[in-house]
């Protein structure tokens, strides 16, 4: 149990904050531990818009790149790694959604609701309220997940999103822009949120909640 868990027992803060702290710690450990350098093709999905990390990653950039603390396993600023990690939208706060959308782009956001704890329509409405450019809502609400999890027809041909300019081996190369992922013959529409069953309304299957922070010796494969 993390040492701070006892402090969160009051006022119902375990449900409100503990998972966000765990997301932040796990994602920071994966980055600073060099996992993404050693596994350049590893695909990660972090829930809750990356916990708190997107909002103070600049401080970690300064600690590692300027002060040289904890940078022995990484080859670029920690903020650069965030732009190759998928985040789900399970944070019911439109300014946070807007910030992550502008930071990592629509190709790296996945619609999630944490249903039944949060109503899917609530988060979908917040995404609609962002008034995104044409096509960006569709990426977030389903096309990114279909590409990532190889769903639908022609799944063997669906490209995996990578940072622009990065090749299929994770090194610099021509690469494919994530917006070119609408392939494989998929022409279906997402079901109306009113028609979703509790299971269908949950976060996309395979979303990793990254409990690595509680297992210091374990490395993602």
Cα–Cα–Cα angle for 38, 42, 43, rounded to 5 degrees: 150
Q: Which sign does the torsion angle of CA 171, 26, 124, 147 carry?
A: positive
What does the pLDDT read at residue 161?
54
Q: What is the mean pLDDT of residues 33-37?
A: 97
Q: What percent of the chain has pLDDT over 70?
A: 67
Instruction: Calculate the alpha carbon distances from 45 to 10, 103, 164 in Å.
Output: 30, 16, 18
- State residue 184's pLDDT score: 35
Torsion of CA 127, 206, 179, 165, to 10 degrees: 120
Domains of the chain from N-terminus onward = 5-187+197-214 (3.20.20.140)
**Order of strands, sheet of 45-46, starting from the edge strand that comes earlier in the sequence:** 45-46, 86-88, 109-110
Residues in contact with 60: Cβ distance below 8 Å, sequence separation at least 6, in sequence order: 28, 32, 53, 78, 79
Residues 193-214: tens digit of each pLDDT:
444 333 333 334 344 445 443 3
pLDDT range class, residue 170, cuts 50, 70, 90: very low
Rounded Cα distance, 54 and 82, in Å:
8
Helix axes 94-104, 53-61, angle to 10 degrees: 50
pTM here is 0.69
Give the model's pLDDT for residue 12.
83
């Amino acid at each position: 149990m993390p040492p701070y868990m006892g402090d969160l027992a009051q006022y119902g803060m375990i449900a409100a904050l503990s998972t966000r702290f765990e997301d932040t710690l796990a994602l920071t450990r994966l980055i600073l531990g060099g996992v993404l350098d050693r596994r350049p093709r590893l695909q990660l999905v972090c829930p809750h818009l990356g916990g708190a990390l997107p909002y103070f990653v600049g401080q970690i950039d300064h600690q590692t790149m300027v002060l040289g603390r904890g940078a022995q396993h990484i080859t670029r600023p920690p903020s650069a790694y965030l732009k190759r990690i998928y985040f789900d939208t399970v944070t019911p706060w439109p300014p946070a959604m807007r910030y992550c959308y502008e930071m990592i782009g629509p190709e790296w956001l996945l619609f999630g609701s944490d249903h039944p704890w949060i109503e899917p329509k609530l988060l979908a409405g917040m995404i609609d309220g962002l008034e995104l450019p044409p096509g960006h809502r569709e990426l977030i609400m389903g096309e990114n997940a279909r590409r990532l999890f190889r769903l639908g027809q022609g799944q063997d041909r669906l490209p995996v999103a990578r940072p622009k300019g990065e090749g299929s081996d994770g090194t610099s190369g021509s690469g494919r822009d994530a917006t070119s992922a609408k392939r494989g013959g998929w022409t279906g529409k997402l079901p109306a949120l009113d028609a979703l069953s509790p299971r269908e309304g949950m976060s996309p299957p395979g979303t990793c909640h990254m409990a690595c922070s509680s297992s210091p010796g374990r490395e993602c494969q």
